[in-house]
A and B are shown apart, each in its own frame.
Chain A
Amino acid sequence: MISEIKDTNFAEIIKSSSEPVVVDFWASWCGPCKMLAPVIDEISGEIGDKAKFFKLNVDENPVTSTQYKIASIPTVMVLKNGEVVDTLVGFRPKDAIKSVIEKHI
């Protein structure tokens, strides 16, 4: 299972992680987000401990969504040492997302 990340713990989690952090920005009303969720789940299972996976509900966490200028969802962001190193906007096939994440491992 991918854990939730929130406005309250976002900064702490991304700073304290030595592995790349993958954040899936989503909302319950977004169809493509629903399709992406199981894909991210699978990738997280395959990549294991080499990266940390989170999902962030944009409705409930407006501070982070605004800070990272989320204008369209789903958006998958890869962060390393607190910095954004890659952003994927919209649904992407599993292989495409996985290869982007693997670049940063």
Chain B
Amino acid sequence: MGDRYDIAIVGSGPAGLSAAINAKIRNKNIIIFGNKNLSSKVEKAPKVNNYLGFYEITGTELRDQFQKHINSMNIDITTERINTIYAMGEYFALAVNEKMYEAKAIILATGIEYTKPLKGEEEFLGRGVGYCATCDAPLYKGKVVTIIGYNREAEEEANYVSELAEKIFYVPMYKAEYNLKRGNIEILKDKPLEIQGDDRVRNVILKNETIATDGVFVLKDSVAPNQLVPGLLVENDHIKVDLNMSTNIKGCFAAGDCTGKPYQYMRAAGQGQVAALNAVSYLDSL
């Protein structure tokens, strides 16, 4: 646990960077989490013609300009992945595996990349559906658990849960050699369609069969914003914001694609600026 930052920005695309430079100009102590390449979407754009002032620029060139700009302002990207952000009341706690950062205000600029929830996933959340297998595994001692895994880390979680649960169905959403240890893990190469139940989860319906299960863990690469920040209000797959880029949580702002369409650089940068300036006003009001 280090210092408490004024503003933590999550995401290093145009929205996050624009928020960062504006907060820095206002002399706030900031931390920005993101990627070395800033944004793979910007990097991959073949040609950009709708970013005012940068005519016929390639995505890579634009990315390099962004990088130069933040370098000139001594803004460094912290390349750590935030797992969960807890709104503690007076401040926010940002969890990175075992590590924790603290900030008085946060700006979410995570873009939009997460996969849609399965049918029944949200309905049965907490009634058999979970997102953290290692967290809830002891509650499934001796029971049947289905793990829908979107990445290799899900295999490790499956191995751990298999020590406690009686039987695991592992449904991989990617192709690889699966490193699953124990004999009680059954791999089902099938497409999950729906999670069903009554007062709690009973079945997972796959394309080719229906399996009876006590619990379902959906383990994804990028999590939906309301899983990243528990309690955050999301509407139509986007974070709900007002014209000040404020969310339903005091001190939590959002900008860019994660707040809605159109998915464009200038909109993202503009919103990042609005979010930063309002985060500054919020800090001044504390």
Alpha-carbon gap, A58 to B127, bound state (A): 15
In the complex, the answer to whether B126 meets A93 with C-beta atoms within 8 Å is no
Instruction: Give chain A interface residues in 43-88, CB to chain B under 8 Å.
Output: 58-59, 65, 69-73, 75, 87
In the complex, the answer to whether B138 meets A29 with C-beta atoms within 8 Å is yes
Given A35-B88, A69-B127, A72-B126, check contact A95 B250 (CB 8 Å). Answer: yes
Stretch with Cβ within 8 A of A (4 or more), from B9-17, B41-49, B50-58, B128-136: B128-136
Least distance between B103 CB and chain A CB atoms (Å)? 14
Least distance between A41 CB and chain B CB atoms (Å)? 11
Look across to chain A and name the residue whose beta carbon is closest to the beta carbon of B128: A71
Chain A: residues with Cβ within 8 Å of the partner, total of: 27
Chain A contacts of B231 at CB under 8 A? 91-93, 96
B77 interface residue per 8 A CB criterion: no
In the complex, the answer to whether B128 meets A32 with C-beta atoms within 8 Å is no
Alpha-carbon gap, A89 to B136, bound state (A): 12
Given A59-B138, A73-B139, A93-B230, check contact A42 B86 (CB 8 Å). Answer: no
In the complex, the answer to whether B126 meets A27 with C-beta atoms within 8 Å is no
Chain A contacts of B132 at CB under 8 A? 32
Given A31-B95, A70-B139, 6 more pairs with CB closer than 8 A: A58-B138, A72-B136, A73-B135, A90-B125, A93-B88, A95-B250
